[in-house]
Amino acid sequence: MKHIQTLTARTLCESAKNGGCGECQTSCQSACKTSCGIANQQCENKAQQENK
């Protein structure tokens, strides 16, 4: 019986490998302007995308 379905593709440790390019959107710029959150930011790093 399958009790657990893992929905994420990579761990955050793995994201450190090619991470930190800084090209992604500044958190609340151009959107909500009043509450910080980075969960909805898209990764713009091509190397990261290839690792997915």
Partner 1 sequence: MIHRYQLGGMNMVVDTCSGSVHAVDEIAYELIGLYEDMPRDEIIRALGARFCDQEGVTEKDIAECYDQVTALKENGQLFAPDTFEPLAGELKSRSAGIVKALCLHVAHTCNLNCAYCFASQGKYHGDRALMTFEVGKQALDFLIAHSGNRHNLEVDFFGGEPLMNFDVVKRLVAYARSIEKQHNKNFRFTLTTNGVLIDDDVIDFANRECSNVVLSLDGRKEVHDRFRVDYAGKGSWDRIVPKFQRLVRARGGKNYYMRGTFTHQNPDFLQDIQAMLDLGFTELSMEPVVCAPGDENALTKEDLPTVLRQYEELAELMKKRRKEGRPFTFYHYMIDLKGGPCVYKRISGCGSGTEYMAVTPWGDLYPCHQFVGEEQFRLGNVWEGVTNPAVQQEFADCNVYARPECRDCWAKLYCSGGCAANAYHATGTVRGVYAYGCELFRKRMECAIMLEAFRLLDEA
Q: Give the footprint of partner 1 on this chain (CB under 8 A).
A: 1, 3-13, 15-16, 18-20, 22-45, 48-49, 52
Compute the half-sphere exposure of residue 21: CA atoms within 13 Å on the CB side of its CA.
15
Q: How far is the CB of 51 from partner 1 (least distance, A)?
A: 9
**Cα dihedral 8/10/16/22 (nearest 10):** -50
* Shortest distance, position 50 Cβ to partner 1, whole Å: 11
Q: How far is the CB of 26 from partner 1 (least distance, A)?
A: 4
